[in-house]
Structure 1
């Protein structure tokens, strides 16, 4: 189907375009709000500036498409967005569960309250993206770029964050319990009041990170760099910090009961009123 036919039928009130072939089509600036484009072929399509509010794009192929569009409340469950350009896109409240977004450009996009659980976001660029209270449970975020991203209150339970760049990201109140963040870079990130219980941060960079009042019980932090990290009132009980670097870290009123700090570097660490720990 070409552009003219699609827009003519839409203007006439038709909304069901399921499985339509729109590969490489130019739809920049058009309004297709509420259309059913489930399983449509939109590979390489240009949708810059388009209005796709509440559009059904479930299982659609949008690989390599330009989607700097308004996708508020759109259904993108299991859609293929591999390599798609969604820079600055409006994706608030969208359903992206199990979608393929590997290598996608989502920098500065608004994904607040979006459903991204089980989504594939490997190597995706989410720098400066808004992900407030977003569901990223079990999402694959290996080597993704989340620098300066706003993840306040987001659910990252059991997410895979191996090698992910979270530098200066805002994770205040986020849930990261059970997440695998081995080798992640979270330098200067804000984890205040976050739940990291049971997470794996082996060899992660948490230099200067704010972990104030966070729950880090039963967490693996072997070899992690926590230089100058703020751990005031943090709950670190039963966690493994073998070989970790805590130079100049602030551990005032931290709960260190049954913590393993064997081989850790605590030079200059501030620890008044902290609980007992094992060296």
Structure 2
């Protein structure tokens, strides 16, 4: 149903209450529907610019291709709603419930999603660049990149203390994102772009980070226990005090990284590039370091007890004060 005459809020609610659900293509900019019960309503391609849906019930509603720029959806219940292709630029969704919602190809740039519930939401192809998702819950959300020209954009997004446990973020652009204290436990970030992202104190335990680009990222105090970082690009990263026990970093590039005081016990770093890296005070107990490139690396005070350094490049490394008890040296001999 299309109309050129703006409909008033009370008229829309009356018509909905009498059983009408299709309001496609209507022009309703600025309409005030605070707390309205509009479960299952259909607003496809409607112009709802600046509308107020504060605390509204919009479960299973459909807003495909709708104009929701600067719309207030704070506290609204949009569980299982279809917002695919909608324009949510600068919208306010503080505390909104978007559990299981379809947000594919949605423009959510600069939107406020503080403490929003996005559990199991479909965000494939969504543009969240510059959005604020502090404290948001995205457990099990799907942000997977579908193809090379089809990106889920989270550039410079604020995900401070967000819950992303188990989220599928394969190939997502998170460059310069703020993920301080975020929960990324067991998340899939394979092939993702995390260049210059801030992951201070983030929980990446058991995360899939194969081929992920962390160049210039900050991972101070992060938890990478049992994480898979095969072929990860981590040059120039700040990883002071990182917990990476049992992690797999084979063929990873950690050149010029700062891993001072890091815990890398039981890690597998075979063929990794650690040239010019700062490994002072780091712990590599029982680590696999076969053919690791440690040219000009700083290993002052590092603990390499029972580490396997077979064919590792150690000639120009600084080993002052390093503990090598029981370690297998590059020539295959075991140190007393």
TM-aligned CA deviation for residue 27 of structure 1: 1.0
2:97 maps to 1:34: no
Is contact 1:231–1:251 with CA below 8 Å preserved after alignment?
Answer: yes
Aligned to 2:297, what secondary structure does the other structure show? Answer: coil
Runs of at least 5 residues in structure 1 that lack an aligned partner in the other structure:
270-277
Whole-angstrom CA distance in 1 between matches of 2:283 and 2:42: 54
Counterpart Cα distance in 1 of 2:236 and 2:315: 20
Greater relative contact order (CA < 8 Å, ≥ 6 in sequence): 1
Residue in structure 1 matched with residue 129 of structure 2 by the alignment:
72
Whether the 8 Å CA contact 2:68–2:86 is kept in 1: the answer is: no
Cα offset for 1:29?
1.0
Shift in Å at residue 219 of structure 1? Answer: 0.4
| 1:232 matched to 2:295 | yes
Tell me what 1:52 maps to.
108
2:248 aligns with 185
The root-mean-square deviation of aligned C-alpha atoms, in Å, is 1.6
In structure 2, the CA distance between the partners of 1:35 and 1:14, relative to structure 1 (3 Å rule), is: closer
Instruction: State whether residues 198 and 218 of structure 1, in contact with CA within 8 Å, keep that contact through their aligned partners in structure 2.
Output: yes
Task: Flag the structure with larger Rg.
Answer: 2
Q: Is the 8 A contact 1:3 1:27 kept in 2?
A: no
| Distance in 1, Cα, partners of 2:69 & 2:229 | 45
- Per-residue deviation at 1:94? 0.1
2: CA distance between counterparts of 1:132 and 1:174? 9
How far has the Cα of 1:16 moved from its partner? 1.6
Secondary structure of 2:48 counterpart = helix
Is residue 143 of structure 2 the alignment partner of residue 86 of structure 1?
yes
- 1:272 aligned partner: none
Select 2:119's aligned residue among 63, 74, 78.
Answer: 63
Of 162, 169, 180, 1:99 maps to 162
Cα shift readout 1:36-81 (whole Å, capped 9, x = no counterpart): 0110000000011111111111100000000110111011110000
Deviation at residue 4 of structure 1 after TM alignment: 1.3
**CA drift at 1:13:** 6.5
Q: For 2:103 and 2:45, locate their aligned partners in 1 and report how far apart those are by CA, in whole Å.
A: 14
Superposed counterparts of 1:64-213, under 5 Å? 64-68=120-124, 69-88=126-145, 89-213=152-276
In the TM superposition, what is the alpha-carbon distance from 1:5 to its structure 2 partner?
8.5
1:3-37 CA deviation, whole Å, 9 max, x = no partner? 51895433486522211111101111111111001
CA contact (8 A) 1:3 1:25 kept: no
Kindly provide the CA deviation profile for residues 257-277 of structure 1, in whole angstroms up to 9, marking residues without a partner as x: 0000010001437xxxxxxxx
Distance 1:7 1:179, change over 3 A: farther
Distance 2:46 2:319 in 1: 64
Q: 2:72 aligns with which of 13, 16, 35?
A: 16
Q: Name structure 2 gaps, 5 residues minimum.
A: 1-37, 50-66, 146-151
User: Does the CA contact (< 8 Å) of 2:313 and 2:330 recur in 1?
Assistant: no
Task: Tell me if the contact between 2:95 and 2:113 (Cα under 8 Å) persists in the aligned partners.
Answer: yes
TM-score by length of 2: 0.78
- Confirm or deny: 8 A CA contact 2:183 2:202 kept in the other structure: yes
